[in-house]
């Protein structure tokens, strides 16, 4: 069957998309779906899961029907894979510390670097524009409690804490002075 397929990786991709859609559909079955007019919490995930399953079927069928022009899976793009996964993990761990705008800019630049076709000239405006758009959308319009820029970007976070000079009174003097104030107060 591999000789009749244009790209075997498209078949595998279609099956993976169908499996992810089926997994989300099975996990969302316990949520109440409701109807089109009164949607429940499970309505939207169910619709998306069915769409993913349909898209996976379409990808698989189209890959099987076309004649072979490319053989095998080819090499795995390790650099791109590492950059995509690393950018996602970086986003999750640094969102609260760096803030939404800087993390989005770094994430977009890292994922653009994963592509061999992306240039720095095109990636920087894309990163800045997407960071500005997402900051406006999520912070201003939707009101999510995300920092635009986080505490890691402030000088006070990285500087040592200020020490206050307080006068310490030896324990013996404190005991005698409190005894003296009690004696004055009782007279």
Question: Where in the chain are the domains?
Answer: 2-65, 78-141
15, two tokens = 């099956």
The confidence band for 159, taking pLDDT boundaries of 50, 70 and 90, is confident
Indicate the pLDDT class of residue 8, thresholds 50, 70 and 90.
Answer: confident
For 3, phi and psi rounded to 5 degrees? Answer: -75, -20
The residues, any chain, with a CB within 8 Å of residue 55's CB and separated by 6 or more, are 17, 21
Looking at the whole model, is its pTM more than 0.85? no
Q: pLDDT at residue 170 above 90?
A: no
Model pLDDT for residues 67-106, shown as the tens digit of each residue: 655 555 567 788 888 999 999 999 999 999 999 999 999 9
85-89, 169-173, 180-184: least confidently modelled range = 180-184
CA distance linking residue 173 with residue 165, whole number of Å: 19
Predicted pLDDT of residue 183:
53
Give the DSSP H or E segment for 124: helix 120-135
pLDDT over 50 (residue 2): no
Residue 135: pLDDT band (50, 70, 90) is very high
Task: Please determine, for residue 148, whether its predicted confidence score (pLDDT) is greater than 90.
Answer: yes
Least confident stretch, 6-10, 75-79, 120-124, 180-184 = 180-184
User: Once rounded to an integer, what is the mean pLDDT over residues 102-129?
Assistant: 94
């Amino acid at each position: 069957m591999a000789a009749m397929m244009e790209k075997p990786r498209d078949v595998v991709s279609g099956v993976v998309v169908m499996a992810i859609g089926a997994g989300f559909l099975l996990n969302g079955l316990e949520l109440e779906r409701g109807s089109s007019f009164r949607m429940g919490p499970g309505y939207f995930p169910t619709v998306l899961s069915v769409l993913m399953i349909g898209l996976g079927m379409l990808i698989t069928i189209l890959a099987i029907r076309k004649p072979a022009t490319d053989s095998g899976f080819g090499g795995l793009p390790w650099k791109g894979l590492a950059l995509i996964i690393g950018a996602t993990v970086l986003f999750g761990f640094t969102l609260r510390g760096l803030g939404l705008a800087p993390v989005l800019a770094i994430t977009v630049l890292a994922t653009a670097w994963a592509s061999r076709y992306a240039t720095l000239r095109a990636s920087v405006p894309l990163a800045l524009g997407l960071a500005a758009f997402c900051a406006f959308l999520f912070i201003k319009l939707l009101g999510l409690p995300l920092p635009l820029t986080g505490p890691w970007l402030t000088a006070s976070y990285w500087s040592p804490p200020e020490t206050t000079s307080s006068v310490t009174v030896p324990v013996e003097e404190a005991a005698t002075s409190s005894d003296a104030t009690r004696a004055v107060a009782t007279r």
